[in-house]
Structure 1
Amino acid sequence: MNTNCALCGIPLTSMDTVLGENKLSDGGILCNKCLNKATNINKDLVYDLGNYSLVQVRDIVLGESIEKEEEITLEPVVESSVSRTVVTFSHSFQVNVGKKEPEKPTRLDEIKDQIIALNTQISIFANVEVNELANVLDRDERLIAITEGKYLNNNLDGILISTERRVIFIDRNFFSNTVENDFPHHKIVSVQHSYGLVSSELKLYTNEGIKAEFKLNNRNAAKIFYEAIQNYIHSPQNPLRQQHQKSIREEDAEAVFEKLEKLGKLREKGILTNEEFEMQKKKLLDKL
């Protein structure tokens, strides 16, 4: 049985399914919010929804096909050696006349392929944020997790993603190259997740005292996201974590030597005896 809206992906409620009037011809079910949006555009849906497929409803809501890459376009190509017109179909299959160089995948194409490989359901309302990923992610960054929800710290909706090096939240008002909600893995010290009735929550704690809280649209989303990132966050092989830990060790060593210098001055002034100096010195050196 379908438990999520076929159009926006949010969990269905009993009000969406109790009358059985929200069902599409291909078996998908719409939540009342999406149904109202579609029927406001096309009044015929009120009486004839069962004869419409999900693709047709998407076209009505968006005003264009959600699968632009799979549109069939007709391109007349004339063979000089034959007195007829050969029509080439640009689709997932093609009948090519002559040789044509394949188009090189764009960065956005690569990212969408990674999303598909994660087998995660993302609604059509997240298209703006997904398209923005090509500008946010570095060329060598690979997605390991993606989900939709709300960043409770600023109460904005958007997508929560993680690459092999950082967690990022991109909200629906995000149109610049500056990522404010960016959490590098080596700075995350703890991750917690919990379940709700139809949603879930994820909490990130950083070594800078930041607590980032997210309410995710799906009940299992927080657990899946947590499992995807935990090995990267706690991995000692993470080069960024190694660099960060080295920096901490260097700062600690510098602080120890400063304290030793102060102890030496106290001994010179007679405030500390040699025995007290040696005792404190040993305690400090044991920290290195």
Structure 2
Amino acid sequence: MATFNVRPDIDAAAEKLGSTMGAKREIKRLPEVLWEGETVEMLATGSYGGGTGLVAMTSMRLVFLKHGVMSQTVEDFPYPKISSVQWQGGMLMGTLTVYTSGNRADIKNMPKDQGAALSDKLRALIAQGGQPAAAPAAAPAQDVGSRLATLDQLRATGAVSDAEYQERRARILDSL
């Protein structure tokens, strides 16, 4: 299993994936699309909107991330907006269908074990009224510090350019 050293919550979720094939770039880029104080609880791979990427169940929402060489796709489903989920499993793969405000999103080609576990957790969350059981509140100073540390790691590994680093660092500091 590959080691990512992105963030403890993301690393723990990535370790549970059977295979990270097709999602390595997305795992490394996931911190860029997460909201402040948002943590990753579970990851899965799947296809949505013409691309194969990463499905992240976080403390606040379900996120699909596809980070290609020329483009990036991010689709998110905040938990209070999800009305129901459906799982259809085949021999090896399946489809997770998420219903939100009259819309339907089919995330296909999910490994059967990942998709079934994710749909079960989503159903439990919906039964709780769309709110996580106990979302830990992070101190803003610690969160900014961890975000800056993550950004430094991304720059050190070459995942972000110096220009991207400066822009994102400025945004993080402006959020104070």
TM-score norm. by structure 1 comes to 0.41
**Distance in 2 separating the partners of 1:156 and 1:124:** 14
5+ long unaligned stretches in structure 1 = 1-5, 7-65, 70-107, 240-288
Change (3 A) 1:186 1:179: farther
Distance 2:4 2:74 in 1: 31
SS of 1:125's equivalent in the other structure is coil
- What is the deviation of 1:139? 3.7
Match for residue 171 of structure 1 among 66, 85, 95: 66
Instruction: Tell me, yes or no, if the aligned pair for 2:96 and 2:110 is still in contact at 8 Å.
Output: no
CA contact (8 A) 2:51 2:66 kept: yes
Paired letter, 2:106: E
Amino acid at match of 2:108: K
Task: Tell me the residue number matched to 1:132.
Answer: 29
Do the aligned residues in 2 keep the contact of 1:129 with 1:159 (CA within 8 Å)? yes
Which residue of structure 2 lines up, in the alignment, with residue 204 of structure 1? 98
Q: Partners in 1 of 2:3 and 2:79 — Cα distance? A: 34
Percent sequence identity over aligned pairs: 23
Q: Which has the higher contact order (CA 8 A, sep 6+)?
A: 2
Quote the Cα distance in structure 2 between the aligned partners of 1:205 and 1:179: 19
Q: Say if 1:146 and 1:212 are closer, same or farther in 2 by CA, change over 3 A.
A: same
* Separation (CA, whole Å) in 2 of partners of 1:237 and 1:135: 24
Where does residue 33 of structure 1 map in the other structure? none
Query: 1:116 and 1:188 mapped to 2: Cα distance?
Result: 24
- Give CA deviations for 1:17-61 in whole Å, capped at 9, x if unaligned: xxxxxxxxxxxxxxxxxxxxxxxxxxxxxxxxxxxxxxxxxxxxx
2:19 aligns with: 122
Distance change (3 Å), C-alpha of 1:190 and 1:112: closer
Q: What secondary structure is seen at the aligned counterpart in 1 of 2:112? A: coil
Give the number of the structure whose residues are more often strand, by fraction.
2
TM-score normalised to structure 2 length: 0.63
Aligned residues: 132
Is the Cα contact below 8 Å between 2:82 and 2:130 reproduced in 1?
Answer: no
